[in-house]
Structure 1
């Protein structure tokens, strides 16, 4: 082999080694990012699970209005675990959410005429009478079983 061939072979080998080292560096960064994302997702899930426990407990202790509690639980369940949210025990939260979805909130609620607010409040009372037992049963189920089971990956 000539000196030129050996020099080219050495340069090529060095280039391959440099590229391999760079690829390894990039893969390590990807693995670190995946690990950080997994940790953030786990933290998010733990936070949502804790929030769901607080809301379900507050609903059972009647520290939270039934309609508001059901809406908040439904929204958090959708973000926590869609399979758990769609479980038959949690259907009452979806029902109450759907029944109240057209009702204005915040500033729009304050802007409503008094008669319109009273009509909505009357509807809230009807829904509470109709669904209170099922919502309390669902909240109890969430605390005792639903949030205890391993979470399905969404």
Structure 2
């Protein structure tokens, strides 16, 4: 064989080796994407279950309206799965936005009695003004997201 044939054979072997390595890397990428999608699907299924559970608890009066609305808003923000068309869920964001400034946990305990009373009055007003809309949206979610 001439030098030309050896170089051609060597070049073909290098191309074949690189093509094999590229195939191997693409298979890893596809597998990683499939694993990530499976994890996302599991996360969405778990979140959908949590959303449905809290919505049912809200409908049944087992969780306060404001707390349930805040929890549902946060869960819905993290949920990236399919949703039934026609779900009207903006009320949870509205309640969340209206109560975002109210201190919680240790900060609530450090408020004076007058400050707490002021916040409680605001929360009562929010509950009174939005109770019907929250209940309607919670009933929709209690049936599931899709």
TM-score over 0.5 for the alignment? yes
What SS does structure 2 have at the residue aligned with 1:89?
coil
Q: How many residues align?
A: 144
Q: Could you tell me which residue of structure 2 aligns to residue 79 of structure 1?
A: 78
Please give the residue correspondences for 1:3-152 in structure 2 after superposition, counting only pairs within 5 Å: 3-81=2-80, 89-144=88-143, 147-148=145-146
User: How much has 1:83 moved relative to structure 2?
Assistant: 9.5
- When residues 83 and 107 of structure 1 are mapped into structure 2, their CA distance, relative to the original with a 3 A threshold, is farther
User: How much has 1:88 moved relative to structure 2?
Assistant: 6.8
Question: In structure 2, what is the Cα distance between the partners aligned to 1:111 and 1:93?
Answer: 27
Higher RCO (C-alpha under 8 Å, 6+ residues apart): 2
Structure 1: any 5+ residue segments left out of the alignment? 149-154
- When residues 88 and 22 of structure 1 are mapped into structure 2, their CA distance, relative to the original with a 3 A threshold, is closer
Question: In structure 2, what is the Cα distance between the partners aligned to 1:111 and 1:82?
Answer: 40
Question: In structure 2, what is the Cα distance between the partners aligned to 1:111 and 1:83?
Answer: 42
Q: CA RMSD for the aligned pairs?
A: 1.9
Contact 2:41 2:81 in 1 (8 A): no
Question: In structure 1, what is the Cα distance between the partners aligned to 2:82 and 2:24?
Answer: 38
What SS does structure 1 have at the residue aligned with 2:88?
helix
- When residues 24 and 82 of structure 1 are mapped into structure 2, their CA distance, relative to the original with a 3 A threshold, is closer
Q: Could you tell me which residue of structure 2 aligns to residue 151 of structure 1?
A: none
Structure 2: any 5+ residue segments left out of the alignment? none
Question: Which stretches of structure 1, 4 residues or more, deviate above 3 A after TM superposition?
Answer: 81-84
